[in-house]
Every structure is written in C-alpha cells, then in structure tokens.
Amino acid sequence: MSKFFQQSLDIHRYLRGKWAIKSKVPLQNRDDLSVAYTPGVAAVSNKIAEEPNSSYSLTMKGNSVAIVSDGSAVLGLGDIGPQAALPVMEGKAILFKEFADIDGVPLVINAGSVEEIVTTVKTVAPTFGGINLEDIAAPKCFEIEERLQDIGIPVFHDDQHGTAIVLLAALINACKVTGKSMQSLKVVINGAGAAGTAIARLLRCVGHDENACNPVEDVLVCDSKGIISKDRENLNEEKLKLLTYTNRFNRNGKLKAALEGADVFIGVSKGNLLTGDDIKLMHKEPIILAMANPIPEIMPDEALAAGASVVGTGRSDFPNQVNNVLAFPGIFRGALDARATRISEGMKIAAAYALANAVNNISADHVLPDPLNRNVAQKVAEAVKQKAIEEKLQRPL
C-alpha cells in the first residue's frame, strides 16, 4: 500500500493535480476571437435570455456536473476539510470524463452548516447540468440532498446512492448464483451512516412505486450499539426514519443476534469485525458483502471457509469489487442525456438492474463487471435515460 501512497504523491506533485480545463474552439486569429468571445458571443447570450433551456445545447451546462464537498467525511480519513478533499474531487472528475465523457468540476466549499451548503449549491446551480454531492458527513448529508431536490437539475449524493446501486446489482447476481430469491432475503447491514441508510432504502424500495418493486423480506440495520429497534432510546431522527421500513419484527440485540438466520451481511463499517464463527450463525450459504476499506469486516478467504457462497468487498485485489465507478458515470450520463430534473428511485433501480445485466458469465467470483469496463456506463446511462423519460422527469428541450 505504501508504494501507491508515494507514487500518488509524486504524480500529483509533478502534474500539480489531475484536473485541467481545455478549450473546444480555436483562438488563432481575430475572427476566432470574435466568434468565441466578443462580439459574437452576445448572440448566444441573447438566445439563452430568450430561451433559457437552450443553455443546455449552447454552453457547458448540458454536459457538466459539479462535484461538491465540504471535506467532512473524506474516504476513511474523516473530517479533513475542503482543501484536503480537493484531490479526491479531482479524481472523481477524471472518472466522470474517462467513463462517461462528462465534464466534472471539483468544487470544495468552506461551509460548515447545512444551510451554508444548500445556499452555495443553489447559487452555483445555473452553471451545471447536475450536482454530485461527495464526502459530506451523515446525518447532514441527508438533509442537504433532500433540500436540493427542487432546484431543477439532478442532485445525487454518491456516497449514499452510488454504493447502494452497485450493492443491489451485486445482490441481484448473487441470488442468480445461489438460487436465492430476492424477495425472501433477510439482510443485515452493519453501519447506519450514509451508505447503510441508502442501501436499506433501496433494498426495501422506499419511495418507489410498490407495484413495480420487489423488496427483500426484511432488513436489520446495526450501529455500534447493535440492532436499531423501537426499544432503543436516544435514536437520532435518521435512525428513527430507518425504523419505518426496517426491522419489521422489532428484533433486539448485538450484531451477532442480528446475524442468526440471516441470508446476507452487508458491511459499511469497520475492518475485522466478523469471524468465521459469525458466518456460521447465518443461514446456509450466506452472501457476504464486506465493504469496509482498506480492511473488510471479514477477509474473503475466512468467509468462504466458513460457508459463504458469494463474497464481495470494496477492494480491487479481490473478486466482486463494489466500486461506485460502476454507477455514477452512467447515472449522470443518462440523467444529462434525458435532461432530467432529478434522479428518482426508479432511475436508481433501473441503473442497478442494467449494471447486473452487464455481467457476462455470472459466477460466485463474478457478480459485478470489472470497474475498468468502459461499456458499462453506456448501458447504465441508457437504462437511466429511458426510466427518466418513462417517469416524465425531462425538462423541455
């Protein structure tokens, strides 16, 4: 690991970051200057003033996403501030470009409160076709995203929904491998932050048309104190909301109690949390998606030795990497192509199924596509675009 740390420092120092701006038009003579800037650009501005939606085809807006962070929950590093978050946002920008040809613009902001972040995003929104919220700590990330859903462009917190979408795709294919039914799954999620909450919502299809959705049987969400239940005291607002769609039978106890008879363990918490004996508490041939980084909740070899059928992690050196790059480029590509005003639950579910269907030769070691597969984003984008059109979420052309 240290080799990559030093290499990353060296290349960032040499290149002075990873992101740059490049002109699309020539500037070789006075005519070029007159077309790109004054006086010619006045015609473009007047056109947009008359027809605001033409900004999507006449400016960067139609192919741009702001990558917004306050640096309060960066990777596994925690609250390190906006300047320290910038290299991560630059990285996100180049992934947008590489996989979906989207111009991602890093935008780290020195704003501590929900109100400041919401106001800042609303202020800059006219420039962009979408907003990718990134590395913003829970629980404020939930309120920020919710309050930005009415600004007329898609706003998507990738730490929540990107993770949930890729996870759902992995689970869809894991069920194909094991013969399990999605609708009969009993799922345990360890970690009640942004990712854990979004995964629970998506698995229970919260906010989606119940007639077009097949939720898993039940989900238990655990935090550091154990199962989140109605008998727990001093739960914050977000954990109380979780109880409206999880823990149907009000089970109590620590994580081990939750694992008894469970079909699926999903870890978005901390490393080395489980042992093989914990896996043996679960239902026969369980599915283990242990995504803590850099050390998963249980190492794949130990989980498999204890009887797990399919194991995934967040790491690229093990099979079945649950990597958000499989989701967010295609989701925003589809949303931008549809000129969607938001990203709905239906669009997220469509993305998950498109991602699952992008896997050829499904096996226990291959329930997700390779994160470097350049074809995946386009398949996800098409599914997201079509769902946006079906749900009539397009702004006028």
Is residue 74 a contact partner of residue 135, using CB atoms and an 8 Å limit?
yes
Give 2's pLDDT tier (boundaries 50, 70, 90).
low
CATH of the domain at 46: 3.40.50.10380
Domain count, the chain: 2
pLDDT in tens, 244-253: 999 999 999 9
CATH of the domain at 188: 3.40.50.720
Domain hosting residue 52, numbered range: 2-153
Give 292's pLDDT tier (boundaries 50, 70, 90).
very high
CA distances from 33 to 25, 37, 42, 93, 151 (A): 9, 6, 13, 28, 34
- The answer to whether residues 195 and 170 belong to one domain is yes
- The answer to whether residues 240 and 389 belong to one domain is yes
- The answer to whether residues 172 and 92 belong to one domain is no
- The answer to whether residues 44 and 165 belong to one domain is no
- Taking the C-alpha atoms of residue 366 and residue 319, their distance in angstroms, rounded to an integer, is 7
- The answer to whether residues 82 and 212 belong to one domain is no
pLDDT in tens, 325-374: 999 999 999 999 999 999 999 999 999 999 999 999 999 999 999 999 99
**Active-site amino acid positions:** 37, 92
DSSP code of residue 395:
P
Of 361, 390, 323, 393, residue with least CA distance to 169: 323
Give 80's pLDDT tier (boundaries 50, 70, 90).
very high
User: Is the pLDDT assigned to residue 207 strictly greater than 90?
Assistant: no
